[in-house]
Amino acid sequence: MKPHLNHIGKFSALILLSAIATYSSAQTNAPAPAASTTTAPAVAPTGPTDYGKDARTMKIKRRIISFGFFSPVNQHISFGYDQLLGTDIVFTSQVGIIGPGINPSASASYPGSYVSKPLGGFVEVGAKLFFAPDFVTDGLLRYNSMQGLYFKPQVAISVFNLTQTSYGYNYGYYTPPQTTVTNYSGLALILNLGKQWILAHAISLDIYGGIGYSLNTADNNFDRITNYYSYEGSAGSIVFTGGVNIGVPF
């Protein structure tokens, strides 16, 4: 009986060793797990929207109210309104009150002086088409939808009257002042180029200049003028315009 037990023990040990060797070989030759082909989703850049947002409300600023910084020098006060319509397109308008402003000659009444006092208004309507917007990094992230170089076609309408008074002096005698009131109106199509900045997301700075064509009328031929306050005329019907607007985006 004892010899049989020895044979059985040897046989069992042989089977166990064979099983261990087979398992080890299977683990060694097993193929490596396939690498995952799924990539992490790309994170969208936040620059174009974040740079145009209000820091408190986190809403994009789409409007600007502005003031014509040098308008009082030309005897008027102007206010503008811009509205973002879409990518690179901004509706723009400006309203001017003709009359108030800096007019050094208005108080002059000495002999030989000539005083002009305008009173009226003008309206400008157009579109800013941004063709070279400003970017934050390498042309990838826009700084603001309303910042960059733009082309602006616009229509301007001016209506006002001009009171002109001359104080004469003839052969040692003062002559009575002569006053003439003339009504003027003008319609112009102007093509502008400009650059607008949004400074610290709180102030807009807009500098522009343009050239165009106008149709002007007057109710008499007394002293035809070239200044229509929204634009300046020259020989013929060619007109020029320009200005600096400072505003608040919201």
User: Which domain does 211 fall in, by range?
Assistant: 53-249
Res. 2: pLDDT tops 70: no
Rounded to whole angstroms, the Cα distance separating 187 from 200 reads 37
Rounded to whole angstroms, the Cα distance separating 203 from 246 reads 7
For residue 176, the domain's CATH number is: 2.40.160.20
pLDDT value for 45: 45
User: Is 175 a domain residue?
Assistant: yes
pLDDT range class, residue 184, cuts 50, 70, 90: very high
User: Is 34 a domain residue?
Assistant: no
User: Is 182 a domain residue?
Assistant: yes
| Percent helix, percent strand, percent coil in the chain, to nearest 5 | 15, 50, 35
User: Is 151 a domain residue?
Assistant: yes
pLDDT value for 186: 93
Q: What is the mean pLDDT of the chain?
A: 79
Asked if 193 and 206 touch (Cβ cutoff 8 Å), the reply is: no
Lowest-confidence region among 70-79, 104-113, 128-137: 104-113
Predicted TM-score (pTM) of the model is 0.72
Express each pLDDT in 187-222 by its tens digit.
999 999 999 999 988 899 999 999 999 999 888 765
Express each pLDDT in 133-150 by its tens digit.
887 665 567 778 899 999
Q: How many domains does the chain have?
A: 1
Torsion angle (degrees, nearest 10) of CA 190, 195, 199, 204: 0
The closest of 157, 176, 165, 181 to 103, measured between CA atoms, is 165
Residue with tokens 């305008």: 118
Asked if 241 and 212 touch (Cβ cutoff 8 Å), the reply is: yes
